[in-house]
Amino acid sequence: MREPFADRAREMGLNIDGASKGLFTYGDQYSQIAYRQLFTGFENPENAHPTDGMPTPIIAIYTRPTDDVDFKYVGYVSDFYQFIGNNILCQRVRDSIQSIGLPIVTENPIMSWDHTRLRNEIIIQSSQGTTQAGDIFPVMVANNSYNGTRAATIAFGLSMDYNANRTIFAFSLGELRQVHIENSTTEMRSAVTSYMQVFTENITDLITQNFNNRLSEDDMLSVLDVIEKYGRKRRDAISVLLEELQPAGAGPPSSWQVFLAIVRYSSFEPNLNIKRLLENAAESVLVIPARMNDVLEQLQ
């Protein structure tokens, strides 16, 4: 059985200076967080009970932006929650990329409104030029949560320019879970090396196959129906983007056009849960080369 939160706090990277009062903290360039052990209420001495002042299995969460003063209560986790700091996770990704001799172009961190969720898109300087879509860059996307709603993950993806704006997509296939991330730097480096190799060898085929693969009207409507579950306005907005890519009367759209319309929209989606669901919908229309598919499956 996993040890209680307080007993694991130091090894998880939390500051334990306030441990005597049930306070555990962490801060980096993304946000600051305070976990507070909750205790049962205290009664008057005359009405004392053996359970007064006992710790509960609930840990309260307070967060604030790094440059702010006030903490806000944003929820709780159980006593067995496994914490990993946002920058601790992101640094492991940076180290794994740089350890194989590749520079990082830029990072695009996105925080949830309550500062409990982070998505950091780390773009790697190893582009492949394609006739149909221009330069495509490999991306590693670090996802983390401080409230237990999602385990830490690292996904592999693509970055491309569309109408002078950067569009980023992360595969759900091949996503590394927290258990793999924590195992060893060697395992992480091996995963990055494998993805970089398959990206270099297969990205042109992925683009070409999806440019040439036409979706039937039923297939396209099926995808849009899935998107409508996340809101009619989202479906309408993606339909408008799709019409820009494939005007009415120009025949059925290609897999790449439908994929690009969804990813283009998802790149500006502020809700991280919805963003991931949209990416899953975009991934469902892709024709992924067999070799790339095999490697991604082996990574997860």
Asked if residue 50 is part of any domain, the answer here is: yes
Parent domain of 70: 5-78
> Phi and psi (nearest 5°) for 205?
-65, -40
pLDDT score of 188: 82
Residues 200 and 237 in one domain: no
DSSP state of 250: S
CA dist., res. 158 & res. 171, Å (int): 8
pLDDT of residue 249: 67
Q: Are residues 148 and 249 in the same domain?
A: no
CA angle in degrees (0–180, nearest 5) for 231-234-239:
130
Q: How far apart are CA 66 and CA 109, in angstroms?
A: 14
Report how far residue 79's alpha carbon sits from residue 69's, in angstroms, rounded to the nearest whole number: 27
Cβ contacts of 228 within 8 Å, gap of 6 or more: 234, 235
Cα 108 to chain centroid distance, Å, stands at: 11
Per-residue pLDDT, 227: 93
> Read out DSSP for 213-229?
-BPPHHHHHHHHHHHHT
> Which residues on neighbouring strands pair with residue 107, listed in sequence order?
122
DSSP state of 119: E
pLDDT of res. 129? 85
Per-residue model confidence (pLDDT) at position 45: 72
Instruction: Tell me, yes or no, whether 72 and 170 share the same domain.
Output: no
**118 and 70 within one domain:** no
- Whole-number pLDDT of residue 3: 87
Tell me: do 14 and 48 sit in the same domain. Answer: yes
**Rounded to an integer, what is the distance from CA 11 to the centroid of its chain?**
24
pLDDT value of position 290: 93
CB atoms within 10 A of CB 278: 23
Q: Are residues 195 and 92 in the same domain?
A: yes
pLDDT recorded at residue 56: 85
Residue 6's pLDDT is what?
Answer: 92
Structurally, how many domains does the chain consist of? 3
- pLDDT on residue 180: 61
Q: Is residue 140 part of a domain?
A: yes
Ranges in the chain, pLDDT < 70: 1, 43, 179-180, 182-184, 248-249
